[in-house]
Amino acid sequence: MDIKISDHNQVVIMDIDGEIVRNPDIKDATLHQLVKSQLERGKRDIVLNFSKVEFIDSFGVGEILASHISIHNLGGKLKLCRISKKLFLIFQVTMLNRVLEIFDDCESALKSFEKA
């Protein structure tokens, strides 16, 4: 899994490439660790771009939820964009879409921060 981080005004965009699964070969920081490092930078609003994520396992779900909690407890917001149909189905079935804000495209996700 590879994560590219960019800033868009006060919002951080994380472009995730690969699967968010348990991987013994992973050397880099996990998703939650990267989110926490952004919180330590003073960032509070983060968008996760799932356009290149094919699958997540329970570890991946745990990482997303842990990130959501960490951001939310500091008064920030986590939003997801460009989720595949497969993943969205999983999120719907598990009702994660009730907890996480999911957008069709990342521009809408960014705009939603401005409206708030």
Partner 1 sequence: MDDGRLYRFLRAFRIDVRPEEARAALSLFSYFFLITFAFWVIKTVKESYQIGVNERLWWGFELGTAVLIGFVVAINTRLLNRLPRRKYSSLTLAFFAACLVFFWFVFEQLLPRPTFPIPPVMVFAQQHANVFVFMFSFWSDIFIAMSITQFWIAVNDVLYPHQAKRLVGFLVTGGLLGGIGGSLFARVLSTLAAPHTLLLACPAVLLLTILVVNIVHAERERTRGRTEAEYHRAGRGIGYLEGLRTVRRHRYLRILAGILASAVIVGQLINFQFKFVIAAQGWSLGRRTSVLGTFFFAILLLSLVFHLATTGKVLKLFKIPLALLIAPVFLLLGIVPVFFLSVVVATAGPTLAGRYWAMSLRGADKMFDNTISQSVRELLYIPIPAQVKYRAKVFVDMFVNKLALGLGALLYWAVYSLFSFGLRDADFKVRVLGILAFLFALVWIILIWIIHGDYHEALKKDIPIIWPDAQKEMESRININWTRRYVDLIQSRQQSLALYAQNLFKIVTKEKLTADQKEAIALLAGELKARSMDSLLDVGGETFFPGIEEAITDKDIEATIHEVLALPEYRQLMDKMLGDIAGQKTASEVARMEAANLMGLMEPTPNVIHNLGRMLQDPSPDVLNYALYSAAAHRNKEHIPLIIALLGNPMIRQDAQDALTAYGPRIEDALRKRLRDRNERLEVRTAVPEVLARFGDQKAADILMLELAREEEGLEHELIDGLYKIRSNQASVHFNERTVRTAVLSLIRKNCEAYLAAEDSGPGGEPGAVGPARKAAIDLRTKRIFDLLALIFPFDDIVKAYQNVNQGTRKSLDHTLALLDNILDRELKTFLFPLIEDLEPAERVRRLRKFARSLKAQGA
Span 6-45, contacts to partner 1 by CB under 8 A: 21-24, 26, 30, 33, 39-43
- Selected from 13, 96, 106, 109, the binder of partner 1 by CB under 8 A is 96
- Selected from 12, 35, 53, 56, the binder of partner 1 by CB under 8 A is 56
Instruction: Name the β-bridge partners of 77.
Output: 45
Q: What is the C-alpha separation between 47 and 71, in angstroms, rounded?
A: 11
End-to-end CA distance of the chain: 31
Residue with tokens 């997303």: 64
Stretch that binds partner 1, among 1-9, 45-53, 90-98, 102-110 (CB under 8 A): 90-98
Stretch that binds partner 1, among 1-9, 49-57, 103-111 (CB under 8 A): 49-57
Verify binding: residue 98, partner 1, rule CB under 8 A: yes
3, 16 Cβ separation under 8 angstroms: yes
113, 45 Cβ separation under 8 angstroms: yes
Residue with tokens 């407890």: 73
- 74 C-beta neighbours (distance < 10 Å), count: 10
Residues that bind partner 1 (CB under 8 A): 21-24, 26, 30, 33, 39-43, 55-62, 65-66, 68-69, 72-75, 85-86, 89-90, 93-96, 98-99
